[in-house]
Structure 1
Amino acid sequence: MSTLSARALVLEEPGTAPVLAEIEVLDPGTGEVRVKVAASGVCGTDGHAIEGTHPLPYRPVVLGHEGAGVVESVGEGVTGLKPGDHVVCALAVPCGTCRQCRRGLSEHCNSPARRKAMSGVRADGSTRLRYRGEPAYPFFGVGTLAEYTTLRQEQAIRIDESLPLDEFSLAGCGVVTGYGAVLNIAGVQPGDTVVVVGAGGVGVNVVQAARAAGATTVVAVDGLPAKLDLARKFGATHVIDASADVAAELAAIEPDGADVVFEVVGKPELLAMCLGLTRVGGACVMVGIPPMGSQLSFDAFTLSANRRVLGCRGGAVVPARDIDRLVALYRGGNLNLADLIGQRIELDDVFGALDSLGRSAFARSVVVF
């Protein structure tokens, strides 16, 4: 093995423009694999990092966190993976040893090891990437907007070679977050009424997951007509323009309100509205990531009717478990990945994709290497 050079999208400081540059990808260490990235989604959270609304404790950062590729080489101690294996790059890998993990609640792991890994730092404080001769840190521990990256073996979830890597690149974040919000957090049941506020890349996955879980009424709310059309394609039974009186529109569909409302925009000011759309005993799930330091404001009396406000950290995902579930749903015809991809682009075109985040008529741009 030897150190590889790779083109990558690098963010030197939040609030500045990222650059396409050469990085060095070091040999995988013990328990690590080096992956030749086949495809990477361009997600809104990449945009938040660039804007400075998503915290970046270590910099510079190699952006990208939705990816899939082929194992190029493996380090010592790697079991279950070999060069040539096709993998999805996963973000939130539990440590396996903290109190939550030992209690069987690994989706709630919050150990220092997991927090470091999510910041792109290995257990010993180092990183396998170099930019201009200095350490660089993979976004969310994966850094998939690069030709190569190095992962912990637990972050490389093997999938069958017959599955399309460009489509399954999205499984690492947007798809699994949407499905996790529905199945792991909210526990949507057959017959439920669900409202999804925000029909972007994650929102439409909430829509299709809710339908797969048996929800009979799924209402999508968005301010862009193209996003409402997209939500219909993914199974929304009704749509509401966000500029309308959403509560009145929902009351005409379901007078008692929704069993579950998902806020998938990341705007704290929307929570009061979302909570008001729930029925007695209903739940509001915050899937969107609000800016650090933002505050919530709503009438606390609303909660006296057994309503719940639920957080959602990446869909409470355990990658080895949940990505396998996505594969099963895909093979069973219950997971539409192809229509999530609005455009396949080269790495040189990534700036246009970043500029259109939140405004495009489709769910995702995918960089294909």
Structure 2
Amino acid sequence: MKAAVLKQIGDGELDVREDVATTKPGPDEVRVRIRAAGVCHSDVSAMKGGLPALAPGVMGHEGAGEVLEVGSSVTDLQPGDHVVLSFVPQCGRCAYCLGGQPNLCEVHTVAAFVSPRFEVAGEPAFGFGGCGAFAEEVVVPSVGAIKVDPDVPFEIAALVGCGVLTGVGAVLNTAKVEPGSTVVVIGCGGVGISVIQGARLAGASRVVAVDPVTDKHAVAKRFGATHTTTPEGLEELKNEVTGGRGFDYAIEVVGLAATIRSAYDAARRGGSVVVVGAGGPEQAVELNAQELFINEKKILPSFYGSSDPRRDTARMLDFWRAGQLDLEGMISRRIRLDEINDGLAALQEPGGAIVRQIVEFD
């Protein structure tokens, strides 16, 4: 079968090849034919070494498809079911799952780093995020394949699997944005647009979108931002919108030390600073003890939108059906797997206004 393979960490391009096969599903695993996969900036970060990944490996972690085969112990899925992939499958038994934080479950995440799920030219290879969605087929834990209704388009389902759960979840689950509040969102890529939609959904009175790419400003307003600015204009707009007090919620979706610091400075005293961006270990943020004590700002990291993937996948699709989330509008471009390197390059082009690209499979 065909898949996009990262030969080694640091490579700038993926090798699209046809000598790739999945491993046979174990008792608690399923084999899924991928029908749509989102192109996420986390894939680029992993290729460069900013996020954990193994090579050789098949990239891609935001996908949806159709179950082809189930393991002998799987009872809740069957061939033909439509599913969304979750890169953090919940075991349901660990302290995190039982404590209401299934997004922090480590059981299957750790297993993904020691259990190859592909073979490339007969040699073992891994799937990024335990998935490897840039492939025609994948083998994943059955709990990482979340069943959806068959009338949900695969591209819509794929978006929910990562970007939408992460962005909307950061608003509803992590920040718990209250109606009438003020929100600033720093970074207007695919996840940032999901955050903006989540803030609108939560009833925020003013949503300020910040991005240095001015082409993204009109896009941000289309999805619910009430104001837009470049980073240089944020202080002035903060004074205009909040009377200089600062925002109730400052949500950072970039993963850089400078933008996290900017979010902290933009939040009001007693407000919430939500860090969604997936930054590397070199992005060290400096805060002094006095400002932490005096300002009493809550710093809330948000991994995978603090989501319960099974619960929240259904919630996001309910919002979509009700017209409260515009998921179709987030798809800026559709590409084939052979064009994946063009898609990855487009994410890194300065001045681009791409929200999400979808890889379509036959």
TM-score by length of 1: 0.93
User: What is the match of residue 3 of structure 1?
Assistant: none
Worse overlay, 47-56 or 322-331: 47-56
User: What is the match of residue 107 of structure 1?
Assistant: 103
Q: 2:60, 2:104 → 1: CA distance? A: 23
- Pair 1:206–1:183, CA change in 2 (3 A): same
Deviations 1:8-58 (A, max 9, x none): 1100111113201121113211111111100101110111112222222x3
- Pair 1:50–1:108, CA change in 2 (3 A): closer
**Aligned with 1:32 (options 29, 34, 56):** 29
Q: What is the DSSP-based 3-state SS (H/G/I as helix, E as strand, rest coil) of the residue aligned with 1:79?
A: coil
Cα drift, residue 248 of structure 1: 1.7
2:265 counterpart of 1:271: no
Q: Is the 8 A contact 1:271 1:298 kept in 2?
A: no
**Aligned with 2:156 (options 162, 167, 180):** 167
User: What is the match of residue 179 of structure 2?
Assistant: 190
Cα drift, residue 325 of structure 1: 0.7
Q: 1:104, 1:348 → 2: CA distance? A: 40
Deviations 1:268-287 (A, max 9, x none): 12222211111121011110
**Aligned with 1:10 (options 5, 11, 16):** 5
**How do 1:89-168 and structure 2 match up within 5 A?**
89-109=85-105, 111=106, 113-117=107-111, 120-121=112-113, 125-168=114-157
Q: 2:285, 2:69 → 1: CA distance? A: 46
Q: Is the 8 A contact 2:103 2:309 kept in 1?
A: no
How many residues end up aligned between the 2 structures?
355
Cα drift, residue 257 of structure 1: 1.2
Q: 2:117, 2:262 → 1: CA distance? A: 44
Q: 1:108, 1:127 → 2: CA distance? A: 22
Percent identity over paired residues: 39
Q: What is the DSSP-based 3-state SS (H/G/I as helix, E as strand, rest coil) of the residue aligned with 2:37?
A: strand
Q: What is the DSSP-based 3-state SS (H/G/I as helix, E as strand, rest coil) of the residue aligned with 1:167?
A: helix
User: What is the match of residue 364 of structure 1?
Assistant: 356
Q: What is the DSSP-based 3-state SS (H/G/I as helix, E as strand, rest coil) of the residue aligned with 1:13?
A: coil
**Aligned with 2:79 (options 34, 59, 83):** 83
User: What is the match of residue 69 of structure 2?
Assistant: 73
Runs of 4+ in 1 over 4 A off after TM superposition: none
Q: Is the 8 A contact 2:253 2:277 kept in 1?
A: yes
Q: 1:33, 1:196 → 2: CA distance? A: 38
Cα drift, residue 65 of structure 1: 0.6
Q: 2:166, 2:101 → 1: CA distance? A: 17
Q: 1:55, 1:100 → 2: CA distance? A: 21
**Aligned with 1:41 (options 38, 42, 48):** 38
- Pair 1:53–1:161, CA change in 2 (3 A): same
Q: What is the DSSP-based 3-state SS (H/G/I as helix, E as strand, rest coil) of the residue aligned with 2:108?
A: helix
Q: Is the 8 A contact 2:21 2:120 kept in 1?
A: yes
User: What is the match of residue 311 of structure 1?
Assistant: 301
Q: Is the 8 A contact 2:188 2:210 kept in 1?
A: yes
Instruction: For 1:96, give the aligned amino acid.
Output: G
Worse overlay, 213-222 or 100-109: 100-109
Instruction: For 2:358, give the aligned amino acid.
Output: V
Q: What is the DSSP-based 3-state SS (H/G/I as helix, E as strand, rest coil) of the residue aligned with 1:273?
A: helix
TM-score by length of 2: 0.95
Q: Is the 8 A contact 2:86 2:146 kept in 1?
A: yes
Q: 1:84, 1:115 → 2: CA distance? A: 26
Instruction: For 2:275, give the aligned amino acid.
Output: M
CA-based RMSD of the aligned residues comes to 1.4
Worse overlay, 196-205 or 95-104: 95-104
Q: 2:238, 2:322 → 1: CA distance? A: 32
2:204 counterpart of 1:207: no
User: What is the match of residue 241 of structure 2?
Assistant: 253
User: What is the match of residue 335 of structure 2?
Assistant: 345
Worse overlay, 167-176 or 297-306: 297-306
Greater helix proportion = 2
Q: 2:236, 2:296 → 1: CA distance? A: 22
Instruction: For 1:68, give the aligned amino acid.
Output: A
